[in-house]
Amino acid sequence: MTAARSPQTVDIRPATPADVSIMYALVQELATYEKLSHEVTGTPEALRENLFGDRPYAEAVVARAEGAVAGFALFFHNFSTFLMQPGLYLEDLYVRPAFRRQGVGTALLNHLAELAVQRGCGRFEWSVLEWNQPAIAFYQRMGAEVKPDWRICRVSGPRLAHFGAELD
């Protein structure tokens, strides 16, 4: 295991439209790491519209370290009926390999947790692939509870357009 090095500083700021091309590249890097490149069907234009258009659906922050873009996090609000409070859902967090084990991921998670508290959220949550043991161990060290009893349900593509049709 390599020793962690600390960058001079980690600067986290809200993403702007000028960041769309680098965020799109980071999404592609993340998909490659997760062995899911075949699932990236969106475009930079769609990312721009959904983050910065008339009706933004998500937000993002960009992390810079050592003068370069080191990673990003994309998130949005959800709602807990049990807590009767909004939550913050982290859709994706990605740190480039050259910046891992330098505090960038920790800084991104801490930033979002602080944002969740500031916004009155009752929880901050995300999903992790079960094979990604380095990420799971990192999240647990940060204090996250990995919920073993929950599974993600997803409907997308043509199935979404025809959801429930088989029941008729």
Q: Which residues are catalytic?
A: 139
Question: What would the DSSP string read from start to end of 62-86?
Answer: EEEETTEEEEEEEEEEEEETTTTEE
The two tokens of residue 125 are 């949550």
Measured between alpha carbons, how far is residue 83 from residues 121, 146, 148 in Å?
9, 19, 20
- The SS3 call for residue 41 is coil
